[in-house]
Structure 1
Amino acid sequence: MRTNSLLAVLALAIIKDVAAFPSKQSSGNDEGSKKSHNNNDKPTKSSSHKGAPSPKPRPQPQGGHSNSSSSNCHVTTYDAIPAAVSGCTDITLDGITVPGKSTIDLSSLKQGSKVTFAGRTFWEHGDANYPLVKISGVDVEITGAEGAVLDGNGACWWDGLGSNGGVAKPNHFFQVRGVSGKSCIHDLYIENYPVHGIMVSGSSGLDIHHVTLNNTAGEAPNSRSNGKPASHNSDGFGMSSTTDSTIHDCTVINQDDCVAVTSGNNILIENMECLGSPHGLSIGSVGGKSSKLRSITSSGEHSANGIPSADNTVTNVTFKNSNVRNSENGIRIKSNENTTGLVQNILFENIHVENIFKYGIVLQQDYLNGGPTGKPTNGVKFKDITIRNIKGTATKDAKNYYILCGKGSCENITIDNVDITGGGEKSTCNFKTSGSFDCDGGFQ
């Protein structure tokens, strides 16, 4: 079992590496990073995965920002934000204190707008379900000035239940919806967010990089959490119904998924540091989602024929060159029981896992939010999945590997060059994969 002291030591190591954060990094709008990601990629030499990703050079100004009045565009009070959004394309939000039950609404940004958070942004308490920040737009840039901190004041809401009940609380820190063109979110330091971190839906062409999500304070129990970590469901990054997008060079210290892709196409996740994230790097859960959002093409137009059953399909997703430490699961693909959907063309490669206390690698088709059933169903298909070059350690209470497929619903799964050791529970796999993987002799 993980302990608070171990988490604190590991968190300190990460924080020291990003102590100068947020320093400006490259913009990351590199067309090469948004090519189709599939299982035919050649494996690269695995790095040692020590510490946080190395900083990249500062970005050069993109130009094209013009303001009607620069004084109105440098905002220091919450009430002045709407006027800046409607009248400016280069906006600075400097030291904003946000009233309780209020949202920084950036959902009507002009095309090509840039928003910079400066100083300390702080959200006051208010019991309700609402996003702390809303973001939409075409070719938009959201970033942080040197030394800026976005403090979600999560301790006011943390009760050990997250989005599963308890006090009404802000469900998303960043609600990113309908972003398109060549947009980016970068160089942000976010701490103490109430529930979910940066949730992206219905978007395309988005590059997220050099963001730190630090919920270390939520690991300790409080008077309302019954001995459990006070923060719960604090997913770092989530993507749904999103295409042609990347998340890279980010650090997540939290109490749920580091990154979870629940639907979407052509997504790249790389160079991630995940610490204390119970569910590591995840696909799913897939299945049972209602079609509230359509996928969006890179031109910003909604595509009715884009991804079949878009909210229940994950295709062409790559996770690579990342670390998962002190986590319940290392890498995971999960589908909800008695639902339909598709997970296809998925690649996990060059990932280091350390001190995993449930499953090092897990594929399961029996998921329920209240706990898996142990009885897989076959409505969600897992096809053309490659897992390779995964190394690391698990604890004595963990299984190194666990695969639970429904009848006929797993196909063409290749696992090669994996070496997770230390798990004291016997690995079990009810589906015979291709490659050198032998499930520690646990194929059933």
Structure 2
Amino acid sequence: MEYFVKFHVCHLFLLLSTLYVSAFADSSCTLTGNSIDNLENIKSSCKNIIVDDLLVPAGLTLDFTGISDVNIEFRGNTSFEFKIWKGPLILISGNNVNVSGAEDSVIDGNGPKWWDTLGDKGITKPRLFKLRYLTNANVTNLSFLNSPRHCFAIHNCTNITINNVVINDKSGDTQGGKNTDGFNVKGSENVYITNVHVFNQDDCLAVRSGNNIHFSNGHCYKGHGLSIGSIGNRTNNVVQNVYISNSQLVESDIGVRIKTVWNCTGLVTGIHYDNITLIGIKKYGIIFHGNYGKLPSPNAPLTDGIPIKDITLNNIQGTVVTAGTNIYVNIAEGVGSDWDWRNVNITGGEKKRSCHGIPKDSNAFCA
């Protein structure tokens, strides 16, 4: 009888221990308050991480690197103390990661603490949210406020889906925001961005390099438009197979844009803009320019080292303010090829410019 009791007590202990370890491994862990000292322990022990009303100390990154099979949920207000440094404020890498935001949650970059009207030329400012070397990830229902600099960076990532994201840097219009790019893609493949709202002072989307990039149902306010580039002066200067569709730009400086850097090499190919609406664009409805960078446009030399080929524009409609230009192409002769523009109708701009480099066998035009 004594043996029987001892056996079952030991068996019960082992069973409870197993259940405890299993429950701990699958449990939710919460980061809150004004410290991230416990972050490494949470990363190593939890598959469901909740960031709830967290204030990240100055000069520290909310660092979710090297994680796999993890869910991260932002709740309440996530904010950051001020320090002059390059950041990023949040960094995520790994494999099989889901990132989401609870209803009414906000990731507040506290941009006014850094904004100085000078952007990249002023004090050093951190990126707000960066995905780097991340594969197989879903990012949904996030709301960003007041990015110090670029908001959402996607660098060297594969198989990324982003849905229902708001970037609100509207305060930067009056408080000195600059270079507050919305989505910045570099060296990434199979990226899908959909159902997003961006109010900022720079590109709504900037694809600097990568392959098979999709952007759809975007709503861009103010800013510098839906851009390919700038291309040049980086390790990877190839952009291919980009699909931008069913999107609207309101009161942006620029609508549709391809920008390559003078005296550089690279490739832009397989770019598709489809069903884009422009409303009250201030400077250029459509602009392709091959001298982006240090030298002043439009009189600077044009790069002949970055072909711009297989460019499709379909159903690009809208208006430019009177002082703006509807369509402007300024690239080196022979750089462009295989352009197909259909149902392109941009009106309102009365500032006409002399265009260069439109492929002679294309239906593209200057206006």
TM-score by length of 1: 0.74
Question: 1:243-293 deviations in whole A, cap 9, x for unaligned?
Answer: 01111100000000000000000111110000011x200000112212xxx
| Greater relative contact order, per chain length (Cα 8 Å cut-off, separation 6+) | 1
Work out whether residues 238 and 266 of structure 2, in 8 Å CA contact, stay in contact via their aligned partners in 1: yes
**Aligned with 1:174 (options 125, 129, 142):** 129
- 1:79: Cα distance to partner? 2.3
* Alpha-carbon distance between aligned partners in 1 of 2:104 and 2:24, rounded to the nearest angstrom: 24
Matched, 1:126 2:90: no
* Alpha-carbon distance between aligned partners in 1 of 2:228 and 2:339, rounded to the nearest angstrom: 15
- 1:396: Cα distance to partner? 1.2
Work out whether residues 360 and 394 of structure 1, in 8 Å CA contact, stay in contact via their aligned partners in 2: yes
1:183–1:431 distance in 2 versus 1, CA, 3 Å:
same
Matched, 1:248 2:194: yes
Task: Determine the structure 1 residue equivalent to 2:280.
Answer: 355
- Structure 2 counterpart SS, 1:146: coil
- Structure 1 counterpart SS, 2:172: helix
* Alpha-carbon distance between aligned partners in 1 of 2:296 and 2:74, rounded to the nearest angstrom: 39
Higher strand share: 2
Structure 2 unmatched runs, 5+: 1-21
**Aligned with 2:215 (options 245, 249, 269):** 269
- Structure 2 counterpart SS, 1:239: strand
* Alpha-carbon distance between aligned partners in 2 of 1:376 and 1:196, rounded to the nearest angstrom: 27
Task: Determine the structure 1 residue equivalent to 2:225.
Answer: 280
> Where in structure 2 are the equivalents of 1:17-416 lying within 5 Å?
67-68=24-25, 70=27, 73-77=29-33, 78-109=36-67, 111-164=68-121, 166-170=122-126, 172-180=127-135, 182-221=136-175, 230-277=176-223, 279-290=224-235, 311-369=236-294, 371-372=296-297, 374=299, 375-416=301-342
Instruction: Report the aligned-residue RMSD.
Output: 1.7
- 1:431: Cα distance to partner? 3.1
Task: Determine the structure 1 residue equivalent to 2:8.
Answer: none
Matched, 1:439 2:366: yes
Residue identity opposite 2:281 in structure 1: I
Question: 1:66-100 deviations in whole A, cap 9, x for unaligned?
Answer: 743736x1222422222211211111011101111
* Alpha-carbon distance between aligned partners in 2 of 1:206 and 1:66, rounded to the nearest angstrom: 29
- Structure 2 counterpart SS, 1:82: helix
* Alpha-carbon distance between aligned partners in 2 of 1:146 and 1:416, rounded to the nearest angstrom: 41
Task: Determine the structure 1 residue equivalent to 2:18.
Answer: none
1:321–1:66 distance in 2 versus 1, CA, 3 Å:
farther
1:67–1:187 distance in 2 versus 1, CA, 3 Å:
farther
* Alpha-carbon distance between aligned partners in 2 of 1:398 and 1:93, rounded to the nearest angstrom: 45
Residue identity opposite 1:419 in structure 2: N
* Alpha-carbon distance between aligned partners in 2 of 1:372 and 1:139, rounded to the nearest angstrom: 44
Task: Determine the structure 2 residue equivalent to 1:26.
Answer: none
Work out whether residues 67 and 90 of structure 1, in 8 Å CA contact, stay in contact via their aligned partners in 2: no
How many residues align? The count is 342
Work out whether residues 113 and 139 of structure 1, in 8 Å CA contact, stay in contact via their aligned partners in 2: yes
**Percent identity between the aligned chains?**
36
- Structure 2 counterpart SS, 1:205: strand
- 1:146: Cα distance to partner? 1.3
Question: 1:297-347 deviations in whole A, cap 9, x for unaligned?
Answer: xxxxxxxxxxxxxx1000011100000111111010010000000000110
* Alpha-carbon distance between aligned partners in 1 of 2:239 and 2:159, rounded to the nearest angstrom: 16
- 1:112: Cα distance to partner? 1.4
- Structure 1 counterpart SS, 2:131: strand
TM-score by length of 2: 0.90
